Amino acid sequence: MAHTSNISIDVMLDEARVPENIIWSASDSTADTQQNAKAMMLAFWDGADKSALRIDLWTKTMMVDEMADFYYQVFMTMADTFQRATNQPELTAEMKAYAAAFIKKFKSLQLQQNQ
């Protein structure tokens, strides 16, 4: 018999429809309760149209440095997923090198702006 797993995402919006809070839960998660998040990226592949459909949301309390860390970690996990799916270590290494360069440059720019 097939097993169904559910992922639920609730986004609370302010009066201007800007996300204030993101809460998610997954039926097969090890977490017993709903989880809070400041940002999310959700992507689907439409095989018929050969295109990616995505939802990118972040709350108004998400700080710029948190967004940079979020992107760095997403790049790294995307590289890991790409490796598992394609067994292309050279391309995976390039993706991880880009992620490392990205966060390094972000931090450098932050230091310059804060001087």
- pLDDT tens per residue, range 80-112: 999 999 999 999 999 999 999 999 999 999 999
pTM: 0.89
pLDDT at 68 over 80: yes
**Model confidence at 1, in pLDDT bands (50, 70, 90)?**
confident
H-helix segments, 14-88: 64-86
**Are 80 and 91 contacting, i.e. CB atoms less than 8 angstroms apart?**
no
> What's the mean pLDDT in 49-60?
96
Task: Give 103 or 33, the one with higher predicted confidence.
Answer: 103
> How far apart are alpha carbons 15 and 4 in whole angstroms?
35
Q: With pLDDT > 90 as the criterion, what percentage of the chain qualifies?
A: 87
Q: Is 30 helix (H, G, I), strand (E, B) or coil?
A: coil
Kind plus residue range of the DSSP H or E element containing 104:
helix 89-113
Indicate the pairing of strand 51-58 with strand 39-46: antiparallel
Quote the pLDDT of residue 34.
92
Please count the residues of the chain: 115
73 has a pLDDT exceeding 80:
yes
